[in-house]
Amino acid sequence: MRHALRNYALVTGAYWAFTLTDGALRMLVLLHFYTLGYGAFQIALLFVLYEFFGVITNLVGGWIAARLGLKVTLLAGLSLQVAALFMLSAFDVAWSVMFGMTYVMGAQALSGIAKDLTKMSAKSSLKTLVPDGEHSTLFKWVAVLTGSKNALKGVGFFLGGFLLTQFGFQGALMIMATGLAVVLCVSVLSLPNGMGQSKAKVKFTHILSKSPDINRLSAARFFLFGARDIWFVVGLPLFLASSLNWSHTQIGSYMAAWVMGYGFVQAVAPKIAKNPDGQSSRLWILALVVVTALIGGAVIYGVQPGLMVVVGLLVFGFVFAINSAVHSYLILAYSQAEDVALNVGFYYMANAGGRLAGTVLSGLSYQFGGLLACLTVSAVFLMMAWLLSLKLPDDREGA
């Protein structure tokens, strides 16, 4: 157990360091290119390949980890992020808009691959570090890792703005790349080899060969995270700016605080949702449907819509954080240690696909129907997640 705790601390520390740079990088790119005069749609395009390659990476990343081990994929993720940061630091404002966008999108693609390699490796490694049958310990460790990650991503938003102000775009990127390179070196020297490596030869076709429980849980995850991003990515910021006349600073602070609070709730989820299983997952998703419907009703009937949206989405974040923590635990509980990397990779492929779909639908929904349309489509996605969860087993080992 002492060695397991040591390795857990090393994996968590590496994941924390990566998450800080991930959150800071998003804010750096958004603010810097807004300052350069790029339009909102152009800035959105800069992140498309980041999300798209997250889907691809999760699909094949689990297979690579099963063959080579989780240490290899974790180090690959950290290395690619360092490369992406150095690549972006070479950006020249004298370049044409077309070439500059293509260059930045390429760097963001590397960062998207890096993010999902690192996330898949960190979360999968927990299954290999916790003894079989220790469900409460596994849930606690998953919740702490996931919750702290999201809290630090919110800190990363603030870090990106601070570094941009103090050191400029290139300087901020160089500082982050150097710091993450140090973490990479420590991980190379300290983490054990062979974590999560399958003893049997894993065929490439196994990336799509899953048990019914894993497939249902992954499909529910797709709709769950799509439901969140349908209002969070475009709808919410534009509503706060256009309907409530919030400044950019106020909007950024609210969203960063939301992410940090969301991460804190995830970290303490084991104290709220004890002994999670398929039934508790269904109940928490149903609670999300109710919260979303209440917010939508307040907007329809004009019952303090601004206040209800701001406060209601805080409640939504609380309930969503519990849902996310329960799901993150169940994918490990339903997996065997030798298959965990494949299953987690497949599961987070669905997660990334949901984010990508949510991003696109957020813009389309808000354009044609405002925040109410975003909330309506989000509620439909949540109902799909609930329906897909109906046959999830009520025992924590899976069917």
pLDDT tens digit sequence for 196-222: 555 555 565 555 656 888 889 999 999
N- to C-terminal Cα separation, the chain: 29
The Cα 313–Cα 303 span in angstroms is 15
Provide the token pair at 284: 């928490």
The closest alpha carbon to 366, from 225, 237, 251, 222, belongs to 237
pLDDT class for 398, splitting at 50, 70, 90? very low
Q: How far is CA 92 from CA 54, 64, 113, 276, in A?
A: 26, 35, 24, 51
Mean pLDDT of the chain: 83
pLDDT (average), residues 63-86: 85
What's the sign of the alpha-carbon dihedral 381, 382, 383, 387?
positive
pLDDT of residue 58: 75
The Cα 276–Cα 271 span in angstroms is 11
Quote the percentage of the chain above a pLDDT of 70: 88
Amino acid at 164: L
pLDDT class for 399, splitting at 50, 70, 90? very low
The closest alpha carbon to 232, from 378, 335, 92, belongs to 378
What's the CATH code, domain 206-399? Answer: 1.20.1250.20
The Cα 231–Cα 369 span in angstroms is 12
The Cα 3–Cα 340 span in angstroms is 20
Class in CATH terms, 1-195: mainly alpha
- Domains in the chain: boundaries: 1-195, 206-399
pLDDT of residue 318: 93
pLDDT of residue 132: 66
Provide the token pair at 4: 């397991």
Angle (CA) 384-387-388 rounded to 5° is 85
Least confident of 9-18, 137-146, 161-170, 306-315: 137-146
Asked if residue 337 has pLDDT above 70, the reply is no
Quote the percentage of the chain above a pLDDT of 90: 26
pLDDT class for 194, splitting at 50, 70, 90? low
pLDDT class for 258, splitting at 50, 70, 90? confident
Cα 211 vs. chain centroid, distance in angstroms?
A: 24
pLDDT tens column, 128-145: 666 666 767 777 777 777
Q: How far is CA 353 from CA 107, 114, 186, 347, in A?
A: 20, 16, 32, 10
Provide the token pair at 93: 């404002």
The Cα 159–Cα 201 span in angstroms is 43
pLDDT tens column, 8-30: 778 778 888 998 999 889 888 87
DSSP-based three-state secondary structure for 377: helix
pLDDT of residue 395: 61
The Cα 345–Cα 117 span in angstroms is 9
Please check whether the two domains, 1-195 and 206-399, share a CATH topology. Answer: yes
Asked if residue 248 has pLDDT above 70, the reply is no
> Is the Cβ–Cβ distance between 278 and 284 less than 8 Å?
no
Amino acid at 327: H
The Cα 17–Cα 338 span in angstroms is 27
